[in-house]
A and B are shown apart, each in its own frame.
Chain A
Amino acid sequence: MDFIELFLDSLGTLTLNKMRTSLAILGIVIGIGSVIALVSLGQGTQQSVQSQIESLGANLLTVQPGAQREGAVRGAAGGATSLTLNDATTIATSPQITTIKNVSPEFSRRTQITTGSNNTNTQVIGVTPIYTEVHKITIQSGSFISQRDVDGMTKVAVVGPQVVSDLFGEDANPTGQTIRISDQTLTIIGQTASKGGTGFLNQDDIVYVPLATAQKQLFGANYLTSIALEAKSSDVMTEAQNQVGYLLLARHKLSDPSQADFSIFSQQDILNTASSATSTFTTLLAGIAAISLLVGGIGIMNIMLVTVTERTREIGLRKALGAKKRVITAQFLTESIILTFVGGVIGGILGIITSYFISNLTSFPFTISPTSIILAFAVSAGIGILFGWYPARKAANMQPIEALRYE
């Protein structure tokens, strides 16, 4: 029997019992389909997070108070108080620092703000005018905090689009309205353009106030929660980190870098942490899908065992007519591989369609990696061999006489 004959024979046998064949294939379809869809979802998440982080600015360094942790994303809010405005000013003016273009001192706190009868919980950041340059924020209407506002501790605020829709309704013009923060009334002088982002990267759910106003009038603090630095280019990031680090160590009178009471993050550090989190997420999803694939494979083995039992007499006859063990094995293995391969193809197509719909829903990028498709086909054929092997061997090892007597 050559391969083509074997293939056509097995195909013929499988189509004799369409219901059973379809159900067996279904298990594999779901398994492969979910692997492809979920891995694609995971990868879409990874890419989405990555591009959001990248939109923060490629040359951005963030200094935060608190001890250095491996790949930490941010220190505890309101934790250490080791960063001061003087630190920021020194970085900006010191001749030791040759790689930094702009310095943005910041004080941020999450708090409740109200207007009339509406309120919302949002992030309030005390900033200086250089903030928009360093964080690439654009103004949609009105104007941003000015140096006069900082020097004069004026009670003004600039709001992000999320805050506008939470307090005043979508498309409302907030300029001129007032809001209350920590028992102080501030007047809105502008609105920022939407930048998107989710979770801690959400740059639309923010209220900007002058730094001095935040520190002295709203929150009674004389330290900074972060200093954002824009490096001159992405090539000098590492050098910039070193320069700023040593300067701050000296200012804080520390000689051992491991005792630093601050940490400096680059966008790469944040990216690394995020990507290890999202790739864990993807692995988890893939693991879940793999389990469903395993169940599908067990289903195949089950069906093949039933088929072998049902065809006991036929197997006995074939052996009595001279079929060798390997021919019987090949016959049943081929059937099982056809089942899993067809299941793999259908599952692959469904998986791609599903991930297309998911990406539309979540506005994640639509990614199908060719590797995962090739892998899916290889795995589905492999499952056919793995789970079809035992039933096929069982058939091949039957004793012709007993098989022929089987009722």
Chain B
Amino acid sequence: MNNAKPIIKTSHLFKVYQTDSLETVALSDVSFEIDKGEFVAIMGPSGSGKSTLMHILGALDLPTSGEYLLDGEDVGKLSDDELAEIRNRKIGFVFQAYNLLPRTTALKNVILPMTYANIPKEERAKRAKIYLEMVGLGDRLEYTSNKLSGGQQQRVAIARALVLDPSILLADEPTGNIASVQAEEIMTIFQKLNGEGHTIVMITHEPDIAKHAARIIHLRDGKISDDSLNNKQQKAKH
């Protein structure tokens, strides 16, 4: 545990949904810190609030109360435009359903975040290529999503998430829609990235996947039920 400022710091996060007269508490008093360079898995049964937590970490949603500091910045105090910039530059999000633009090439998909970041046009294709090569898809640049397998599409999504060198990489059930062999490939990539210094926070409900992380936070009914280092961290097979 180093003494540098944590890259993620949540304090007493609450998320309460109000529908008609029914009040649902999705997150209840969640507090934790994540340091730069950690690889954390967040586990829990469905309804435990892990997706809700992930959306808050990804600046896609705001907590009802509590504080979320990302790289020292209070996300709750940001304007709409500032939140958009955080999502663009500081956070790389990988979704369970990949969420690539349909009928668009892998290259153009990875370029997309750069168009919102004022990266000069000449540079965009170059950078996109580098990251696609990094995830092993250098020979598939012009393929559209319908020509790529699930695992390949997720790798495009990872390249897209990394292309602006974000502070954190968030992954919401990244292997949920992928067969196990390719799922291992994805974990290899994550571990490689983590080895290079990327901070990764991953949601999963599969213990086999969570095992690849160095630290596992358990959520149950909106509360943290356990937060400990994973002594049995599994090295990915590929």
Contact = CB atoms under 8 A, between A and B. Distances in A.
Interface of A: 1, 5, 16, 313-314, 317-325, 327, 399-401, 404
Chain B interface main SS type:
helix
Contacts of B101: 314, 317
Contacts of B95: 404
B88 A401 contact: no
Give me the 3 closest cross-chain CB pairs, A-B, nearest first.
A322-B88, A324-B84, A322-B116
B87 A321 contact: yes
A321 B61 contact: no
Interface residues of B, number: 24
Given A324-B84, A325-B81, 13 more contacts: A5-B121, A313-B99, A319-B87, A320-B58, A321-B113, A322-B86, A322-B113, A323-B84, A323-B88, A399-B61, A400-B87, A401-B60, A404-B95
19 contacts: A1-B116, A5-B115, A313-B99, A314-B101, A317-B101, A319-B84, A319-B87, A320-B87, A320-B99, A321-B116, A321-B160, A322-B85, A322-B87, A322-B88, A324-B80, A325-B84, A400-B60, A400-B87, A404-B99
Contacts of B80: 324-325
A320 B93 CA distance: 8
**Chain A at the B interface: SS class:** helix
Contacts of A322: 84-89, 113, 116-117
A358 B80 CA distance: 56
Given A1-B115, A5-B115, A16-B103, A321 B88 contact: yes
A327 B87 CA distance: 15
B223 interface: no
Nearest to B54: A401
A321 B112 CA distance: 8
Contacts of A321: 87-88, 93, 112-113, 116, 160
A312 to B, nearest CB: 12
A320 B113 CA distance: 9
B61 A401 contact: yes
